[in-house]
Structures are given as C-alpha cells and as structure tokens.
Structure 1
C-alpha cells in the first residue's frame, strides 16, 4: 500500500505535525533534525503509507491517537540506508 511521496511534502508534514501540540526543547529539535529531516533530505526515494483506517484498521487501531499516524520509508541508495519514520500522537 506504500506510494511514492514527494520529499518536500513529507518533510513539511512531519515538521507541522511535530509542533501541533507543543514546542519541543532544543535538544529534541536537534535530534529530530539529525535523525528525521536529514533522512528526508538525503533520500533517493520516499514511500508513504496512506491512511488505511477506513479499510484496514486493527481492532485496537483507534489507540493510535486523535490524528492517526504518518509513516514513511526513506531509501538512500548512496548511503545504502533504509529508514522507517513513524509519527503518532499516541
């Protein structure tokens, strides 16, 4: 069910999501920049899992928070790296 995602759109969505409910302290901002946003920026290709709740929600799926979740697979072929990035407010 993963589909190709635009790197800029993916990064913007995660940046917006991250500050929706609270401001992160500087240490968390630095870690998020290094571990998440740099992966979006360096990725050769990014895949996004769409919102599957209407068709494939697990019996306990409602516990994933009020805004659901965002899930991306970032592939950096040059670095031979694959990263799974999942953001949820649960």
Structure 2
C-alpha cells in the first residue's frame, strides 16, 4: 500500500481521535491534537528526511535543564531509533486557522510525525506537544 493509503487508514482509525490535552482517545471524538479531526487529510503530511525530523524534535525538546539519562534512553529507544529505521517520515504541516478546534490553541506547540517502517510492518505516530 502506498504511503498516502497508510496515512488515510491511520487518520480514520479511532485511536487517532486524541486531543493530546489529557483526555485520551475518544472513539467518537471530533478532535486530533489542536485540530478538527475531519480536516486532517493525507495531503497535509509532508515527506521529510530523518535529519529534519531529528532537528524539529531536538528544537522542541530544547530544555533549560539537562535531560535525565533515563529519559534520554527512553527517547533514543522509542523515538530516535524508530526515526532511524523508518522507510518514510511524514510531518503534519499546519492546516490553517480554520482547522483549529474550539479550544485547540491550548497547545503552544504541536508536532506530529508518522513513521512507516515496512521491514518491521509498523506505523508509528509520534506527537510532541506543549499545552
């Protein structure tokens, strides 16, 4: 299946209905992160390089303190190793103001990546968000 088909299947999955503001997945939910779920389409995802994805995530992380070694190990295993093994990395681009739901501006920063790893038969959704 082409990447666009995989992105469409991911968007339609009930687990995609998470506002990332503490409420968890709502199977009948209308929101995805700061956006109305119905307005997220595969064409909003830009194919990017591993280097660009790492740069975006490291800039987002840029903490004013040292990252604890346990957290750095978790991030390496769960995020950066998966980025390194992905065949395709897709970054959700800004869909515009009309896509932001009624309280979506609670997120100061929202980055979303879809990693496609065909050899592992895995799609990974990575969300880096502030609220």
TM-score (normalised: structure 2): 0.62
Give the total of aligned pairs: 88
Of residues 33, 45, 49 in structure 2, which corresponds to 1:2? Answer: 45
* Structure 2: distance between partners of 1:70 and 1:22: 21
Q: Please tell me whether residue 88 in structure 1 is matched to residue 129 in structure 2.
A: yes
Of residues 40, 50, 54 in structure 1, which corresponds to 2:97? Answer: 54
Partner of 1:28, secondary structure, is: helix
Work out which of the two has the higher radius of gyration on C-alpha atoms and give 1 or 2: 2
- Residues 24-59 of structure 1 show CA distances to partners (whole Å, capped at 9, x for unaligned) of 211000000100001111100011101234231111
More contact order relative to length (CA 8 Å, sep ≥ 6): 1
**Range with bigger deviation, 17-26 or 43-52:** 17-26
Alpha-carbon RMSD across the aligned residues, in angstroms, is 1.4
- Structure 1: which 5+ residue stretches go unaligned? none
- Structure 2: which 5+ residue stretches go unaligned? 1-43
TM-score (normalised: structure 1): 0.88
